[in-house]
Amino acid sequence: MTAIHTRTPALAVRAGRRALQRLKDKPLAPEDVHVIPGAAGGPKALGISGLDKAVFGDWLPGAPQERALIGSSIGSWRFAAVASSDDPKAQLARLADLYTSQRFSKGVSPAEVSRKSIEFLEELLGGREEFILNHPWYRLSVVVVRSLGLLEHDTRGRLGLGLMNAISANMVSRRHLGRFMERGIIHDARLKTPVSKLVDFPSHEVALTSANLLPALLASASIPLVMSGVRNIPGAPDGVYRDGGLLDYHLDLPYQQPGVILYPHFTDRIVPGWFDKSLPWRRGDATRLQDVLLVAPSPEYLQSLPDGKLPDRKDFEKYVGDDAGRERSWRRAITESDRLGDEFLELVESGRLADVIKPLH
């Protein structure tokens, strides 16, 4: 008897309660999607580049309409790249190439990482600010945090102590982080941010402009002790701004929109904040995520990658002295990620998506 070989799925597809029911009743179409979140996660974004290209380059253009893109850290960089050109595939490929080509010497200072990040953003987006602000259908929201107390300092001692205090407070309850930081959302003024009133932490909203676009993107990815804080974003309350993922790592927000929230993600788990990564009991709120359709690499797919995982920041340490080796590993992961996009397109075009969805816990 001839053996039947089936390819293991490249994607893990999860849905919140209301999205799950909706997709059982009606196949997903691009016109159903009005909001797309983008999580923090650094180089992990490179590992889903092919999925992003399929979503933004092939699928969503089939139904051009106003859509909110809300991201923290690398999520905001991905979406700025998407909204910066009428060829999002090319800009996503450029982002992946620029990120992969970064090289840092051992013991590099936060100021130097920030300087190189500014060069990165200017090379990727410089001269494209007006295109982003006037994109015919994408409306960008960049999530940042305004530092309070000791987190306002960039000196290693004070900042380190502030982070230790924040981590300890978060262990007791996530709500205590409001003593250490305030959420900021810098958003396209043409559209209300796609969330209901935010009451979990002190929050403010600021209109996105050509003057604050690049500073906001830089701040949204400024990891404490890795990069310097960004002081006084134009149009925002005075202060030192840092990585939006500190509060909103995977954007567990009270979304408010009319359809399905399509979430291309690195993992099938929603982790509320950066300090919750090591706290497995901290998960996204089922009510806030009830309209989310999450699409992420499957465990089997991850095992097939060069290092058995997506690229991540620890690779800079793992491959210290071997930048060429790290780049080879990352570029292979980027190339392999086209499988994610191909599978997504096959699932939505064939109508098989509903057959593979599991509940989002």
- Give the pLDDT band of residue 106 (cuts 50, 70, 90): confident
Span 14-23, pLDDT tens digits: 999 999 999 9
Average pLDDT, stretch 85-107?
95
Written as one string, the DSSP assignment of 84-108 is T-S-HHHHHHHHHHHHHT----TT-
- pLDDT confidence of residue 6: 52
C-alpha distances (whole Å) from 137 to each of 34, 67, 68, 181 are: 10, 6, 8, 32
Rounded-to-integer distance, Cα 88 and Cα 115, Å: 26
Kindly state the average pLDDT of the residues 208-214: 98
Whole-structure pTM value = 0.95
Residue 3 is predicted with a pLDDT of: 42
Phi/psi region, residue 149 (left: phi>0; alpha: psi -120 to 50; beta: rest), is left
Report pLDDT digits (tens) over 125-134: 999 999 999 9
pLDDT in tens, 274-332: 999 999 999 999 999 999 999 999 999 999 998 999 999 999 999 999 999 999 999 99
In Å, what is the CA distance from 240 to each residue of 109, 118, 358, 360?
18, 16, 41, 35
- Collapsing DSSP states into helix, strand and coil, what is residue 211? coil
Q: What is the pLDDT of residues 42-88, one digit of tens each?
A: 999 999 999 999 999 999 999 999 999 999 999 999 999 999 999 99
- Write the CB contacts of 346 (distance below 8 Å, at least 6 apart in sequence): 352
Q: How far apart are CA 245 and CA 192, in angstroms?
A: 21
Q: What is the pLDDT of residue 264?
A: 98
How high is the pLDDT of residue 5?
A: 42
What's the CA gap between 102 and 316, in Å, rounded? 10
Identify the three-state secondary structure at position 279: coil
Residues 354/142, Cβ–Cβ less than 8 Å: no
